[in-house]
Amino acid sequence: MTHQAPVPPSEKESFGERLQKALSARGPLCVGIDPHASLLLRWGLPDSVDGLRSFADTVVSALADRVAVMKPQSAFFERFGAAGVSVLESTIRQARQAGTIVILDAKRGDIGSTVQAYAQAYLSPTSPIAADAVTVSPYLGFGSLAPVIDEAEAHGGGVFVLALTSNPEGPSVQHARTSDGRTVAQTIIDEAAACNAKAPVLGSVGLVVGATVGDTGHDLSALNGPVLVPGLGAQGGAADDMRGLFRDLRGVVVPSYSREVLSHGPGKSGLRDAADRALSACQKALF
Ligand SMILES: O=c1ccn([C@@H]2O[C@H](COP(=O)(O)O)[C@@H](O)[C@H]2O)c(=O)[nH]1
């Protein structure tokens, strides 16, 4: 993987278009920024705001000019309170300036009027913590997400809705059957597809589908939107698992690795080599 020119955000382009360009220019890879306490220790950093800042700065300066997407995990910053959130703000800003697309993994969800405030926080261009896209939870009803989907559309942002998560507890909720016989996950997939139905290119309402979910029989064929794929590496998912899962979704899959890459720091070359290996495994599996 070599240094790639930034993919500049354009007011006129939708998130889906920008993401598709970034994936084709830099390859299908998202690197998560998850400053676990154990990783700070492994990198020889203190488990403090200074350690957090140093960790995030290193990951961004090693990778943001070359990977298509980065995904800071909000929880690891929030655990340091306001000072941690301030590091998150600068991490998002620096990563976007370096040319990567930033998906903030915050998994927010609430009643619609509160979701509106989350939408402003994470997707309004005037917000200090604005990212290119945010992860959201549909478990207060997909319709409660309307304000964040509208905000994304208004500002060229994106939304990734949890559909089939990578954790073993997910199926107890997501595979449950609704009154029309579809699973809960399939209703979420279908609602996201309806949001993207009129998008001229790739829609901006994506889904989260873990690499670990196995062959569940869910139908993603009408989505016309991106699929963020966590669960690779540390959680046991392998790039090859995506071959069968996303057979017909070429160009829209965003494989995401956090610990698998981050454990090769703090040296920038170690991080870059690990990202290169992940990218090449994903390219082989997805093309
Ligand atoms: O279904 C999901 C949704 C989100 N995640 C998040 O992705 C990363 C995974 O980290 P790894 O170190 O690559 O396991 C983490 O931030 C999760 O909160 C997920 O794993 N599964």
- pLDDT tens digits, 188-201: 999 999 999 999 99
Q: Determine, yes or no, domain membership for 99.
A: yes
CA distance 121 to 250: 32
Locate the ligand 1 atom nearest the alpha carbon of residue 235 and give its number.
14
What is the distance in A from the centroid of ligand 1 to the CA of 231? 6
Which residue's CA is the nearest one to ligand 1's atom 5?
230
User: For residue 4, is pLDDT > 60?
Assistant: no
| Catalytic site residue from 71, 107, 198, 268 | 107
Q: Pocket of ligand 1, candidates 30, 74, 188, 235: which has the most ligand atoms within 8 Å of its Cβ, to mutate?
A: 235
Q: Side chain identity at 38, as an amino acid letter?
A: S
What is the average pLDDT value for the chain, to the nearest integer?
96
For residue 262, which atom of ligand 1 is closest to its CA?
12
Q: Residue 146 sits in a domain of what CATH number?
A: 3.20.20.70
Residue of minimum CA distance from atom 18 in ligand 1: 73
| 208 touches ligand 1 (CB under 6 Å) | yes
- What distance in Å separates the CA atoms of residue 109 and residue 106, rounded to the nearest whole number? 9
Task: Give the residue whose CA is nearest to atom 7 of ligand 1.
Answer: 230
Rg (CA), the chain: 18
Confidence grade of residue 9 (pLDDT, cut at 50, 70, 90): low
Active site residue 21: no
DSSP codes of every residue in the chain: ----------TTS-HHHHHHHHHHHH-S-EEEE---HHHHHHTT--SSHHHHHHHHHHHHHHHTTT-SEEEEBHHHHHTTHHHHHHHHHHHHHHHHHTT-EEEEEEEE---HHHHHHHHHHHH-TTSTT--SEEEE--TT-GGGGHHHHHHHHHHT-EEEEEEE-SSTTTHHHHT-B-TTS-BHHHHHHHHHHHHHTT-SSS-SEEEEE-TTS-------TT--S-EEE--BSTTSB-TTHHHHHTTT-TT-EEEEESHHHHTT-SSHHHHHHHHHHHHHHHHHHH-
Question: Measuring from atom 3 of ligand 1, which residue has the nearest CA?
Answer: 165
Is residue 8 assigned to a domain? no
Predicted complex ipTM exceeds 0.90: yes
For the stretch 235-266, pLDDT in tens is 999 999 999 999 888 889 999 999 999 999 99
- The verdict on residue 1 lying in a domain is no
Is 75 inside any structural domain?
Answer: yes
258, 259, 260, best to mutate for ligand 1 pocket (most atoms within 8 Å of CB): 258
Calculate mean pLDDT across residues 125-152.
98
Which residue range forms the structural domain that includes residue 132?
A: 15-286
Does 278 have pLDDT greater than 80? yes
> Would the pLDDT of 221 be above 80?
yes
CB-ligand 1 contact for 230 (6 Å cutoff): yes
Instruction: Domain count for the chain, please give it.
Output: 1
